[in-house]
Amino acid sequence: MWLANNPLQAAQLSISNPPAGARWFQSESNVITWQDTGSSAAGYEVRLDRGNGKWVKLGSAGKSAKSFTWRTTGPATESAVISVVALNAKGAQLSTGASGPFQVVLPATSFSGMTWKVRPAGTGGPGPNHWDAHAAWIDSKGFLHLRIFKANGQWKCGEVETTKKLGFGEYRFWVDGRIDRLDKNLVLGLFPYPNADVGPDGTHEIDIEFARWGGNAPIGNYTVWPTTPNLKQTTFAFEFTLNGDFSTHVFTWMQKSILFQSLHGHYDDNTNEFSSWLFAPNDATARVSGAAMPMHINFWLFQGKPPTDGKEAEIVIEKFSFKPA
């Protein structure tokens, strides 16, 4: 029998990677590293506990090894632990060391019953920003996380979009996080956006955005973009204070109108509505798109400027639902 948390054993063998709190993505190769201060091991065994108290062997390494490469597998967990066991020539345990808890997460390619594309690493608008596929992931509950973080001196942002185009109907988002308290340079966007075959940037888009645009503007923004670039967008901006960490945001897109709504808490109806706006222009053909578009969710920095508080930020989307009209 072996115990990964035995203090005498841990003093002889320690794990340097993964560090506690690390986030490893399924299907990516990650290197487990350790230091052994004097067990005279003939070899090592690498094991994983996903937080359920069950240790699974990942593989073995030779006596001179100080690392093991694991092509990370699911399921997702927020409490994975790695243990490295030093063994003698007869296979008996000499010492063991354990990592702190870390996360195994899934790429954000499947969420709320839909298939999504994750924006890859690169630089571009909006912002412009540095985008990173590791800024979006799915946790063990199936929730979508979007994070703005700093790596190698650069701030990174995340975006996902559905592979399928969606049209008229109800779009509903269950959001976790105090979006009413976002730093003035942070932007959360929930929006269908046109591909090139539908229209250029600045047309067709339907936005729910939470941003102060680098200043003191109201944090809530509902915006509808026209179907042609010679017209201007129409925006309804509003201030609000959430009564907790959870909120629901909805737009119902019809042929001649779009109804926007925001609610305290998570609901599939109109309970606890704190903001709404009906956009129903007389010239609906020019103002309300009729083209199906991919649904986008992004979390980014206004004009690419870092958060004024210098802190990384994270938003969770528990659920997205679409009900065709």
Q: What pLDDT, on the 0 to 100 scale, is given for residue 109?
A: 98
Q: Average per-residue pLDDT in the chain? A: 95
Cβ pair 255, 128 in contact under 8 A? no
Say which residues have a Cβ less than 8 Å from residue 166's Cβ, sequence separation at least 6. 192, 292, 293, 294, 295, 322, 324
Residues 206 and 296 in one domain: yes
Domain assignment present for residue 138? The answer is: yes
Q: Say if residue 314's pLDDT is above 60.
A: yes
User: What is d(CA 225, CA 253) in angstroms, rounded to the nearest whole number?
Assistant: 13
pLDDT in tens, 52-64: 999 999 999 999 9
What's the start-to-end Cα distance of the chain, in Å?
A: 60
**What is the per-residue DSSP string for 22-46?**
-EEETTSEEEEEEEESS---SEEEE
Residues 257 and 239 in one domain: yes
pLDDT in tens, 105-154: 999 999 999 999 999 999 999 999 999 999 999 999 999 999 999 999 99
Q: What pLDDT, on the 0 to 100 scale, is given for residue 39?
A: 78
Domain assignment present for residue 2? The answer is: no
| Lowest mean per-residue pLDDT among 7-11, 130-134, 287-291 | 7-11
Q: What pLDDT, on the 0 to 100 scale, is given for residue 243?
A: 97
User: What is d(CA 321, CA 241) in angstroms, rounded to the nearest whole number?
Assistant: 24
Show which of 104, 138, 159 is a domain's final residue: 104
Q: What pLDDT, on the 0 to 100 scale, is given for residue 30?
A: 98
Q: Angle at CA 112, nearest 5°, toward 250 and 210?
A: 40
Cβ pair 91, 78 in contact under 8 A? no
Residues 112 and 261 in one domain: yes
Give CA separation, 74 vs 117, 138, 253, in Å: 19, 11, 37
Question: How large is the average pLDDT for residues 86-110?
Answer: 96
Give residue 32's domain range.
7-104
Burial label for 317, CB within 10 Å (0-12, 13-18, 19+), is buried
Q: What is the CATH number of the domain that holds 150?
A: 2.60.120.200
Domain assignment present for residue 304? The answer is: yes
Token code pair at residue 12: 């002889």
DSSP 314: E
Q: Which of 172, 168, 170, 165 is nearest to 262 (CA)?
A: 172
User: What total number of domains does the chain contain?
Assistant: 2
